[in-house]
Amino acid sequence: MVKDKKRIFFVPVSNVLWIEATGNYACIHIAKDSHLLRETLAHLEEKLAPHHFIRVRKSAIVNGACISEIRNITDVEQIVIREAIQYCMPLPAHYMASTLYPNLETIRTSNDRLTPQKWDIFLYDSRLANAVGLWPWTDVFFSSELGNLIVSALSAGPVGVGDALGEINPKNLMTVVRPDGFLIKPDSPLLPIDSMYLIDAANGKGPMIAQAETKFANSFARYVFSYPRDPAQTEVSVSLTDLGVVGPAFAFDWIGHTGTLISSGGALSIRLKDGFAYNVVVPVNVDGLALLGDTEKIVTLGRQRVSSLEDHGTLTATIKFAPGEDVRTISGFAAHEPKLKAEKGHLKGFIYDAKTDMFQVQMVPGSNGEAVLRLAAH
């Protein structure tokens, strides 16, 4: 059990790679993160003895199951911790067997050469991957195929394209990545919403509605991807309840760059044009404010761009910049023209459209490569 500010969560022992002493704390290292625990290393070593943790030096113990080899270099022994594994073209048995390997992190859940006809299989297989703790990813596609690019970005796994030399669409690729190469990803992968299982179980074959999520301490974003599964399907409606949204919300049509305010208990109406639709749905707080994030990116509020977002009536967002990025535009909704303040970095420009109630603010980073935007109602 690990405590992290306001959260308490559990880390399976099998996921721990190694633990090192840090004063009166222990730093627990897992594949993608590390956590501080107020425990002595000696106490943890005693508790974890049945799980075959090995003392490798005075200040560190290692999960024996994660050691791939021990090297002796100039009379100094080096412990090599097993590197991450990625599965490609798995059978059902591989999904289940993955639970035996704590360093297995990602799995390709699509068939060869991603196409819209394979989206259903990818999404439902991603549900199984997510259930056993794996990040799904898609096979290659062309960077000019925006629908495939959105699906791949929202998978929260690697994004790979198969363009011929000179055929890459750099504008499209920059919607998923920062200039330094960091992918901007959701916290959870794109999966069919719960009601889709009932629809498909009854052979309803209505339009597919799937969503991924970024979840902050007291706010969130839902990334809603939908597409027809019959040529006659041109629109679909999904309730905020089915999206897991309580209270009013603002839906941003990422393709059309338009927004819609949805009242509490209402529904998102989606036009299925050109084979798919993509909407970002964010909550509107008690002061009539909502933050959409960096709408030039598919995952507008991904943590690689917006590392934190707090809602206490006033919205406070921390914006992360890649080296060399000198300005980013952050968008949102406000029932009335809001008050803005840069607590770190500074504001370069601001536009508020009273007809749409949408705003855009240009942020410039501070010396640490971050800007903090504070947004309040008048």
- Sign of the Cα pseudo-torsion (166, 168, 169, 174, in order): negative
Q: Report the alpha-carbon angle 178-272-236, nearest 5.
A: 115
What percentage of the chain reaches a pLDDT higher than 70? Answer: 93
Lowest mean pLDDT among 79-93, 195-209, 214-228, 251-265: 79-93
**263-299: pLDDT as tens digits:** 999 999 999 988 999 999 999 999 999 999 999 999 9
Give yes or no for a contact between 173 and 161, defined as CB atoms under 8 angstroms apart: yes
Answer yes or no: is pLDDT of 73 > 60: no
Is the model's pLDDT at 356 over the cut of 60? yes
pLDDT reported for residue 17 = 85
Q: What is the largest CA-CA distance in the chain?
A: 72
pTM of the model as a whole: 0.80
User: What's the mean pLDDT in 123-137?
Assistant: 94
Distance, in Å, from the CA atom of 306 to the CA atom of 317, rounded to the nearest integer, reads 7
pLDDT at 74 over 70: no
Burial of 59-83, coded b for 16+ CB within 10 Å and e otherwise, reads ebbbbebbbeeeeeeeeeeebeebe
pLDDT higher than threshold 50 for residue 207: yes
Place of tokens 């535009």: 329
Spatial distance between the Cα atoms of 136 and 211, rounded to a whole number of angstroms? 14
- Give the domains, in start order, of the chain with CATH numbers: 2-81 (2.40.50.1020), 85-176 (no CATH), 191-283 (2.60.40.1180), 289-376 (2.60.220.10)
Query: Which spans in the chain are helix H?
Result: 41-48, 92-97, 119-131, 146-154, 170-173, 194-201
Sequence-distant (≥ 6) Cβ neighbours of residue 97 within 8 angstroms: none
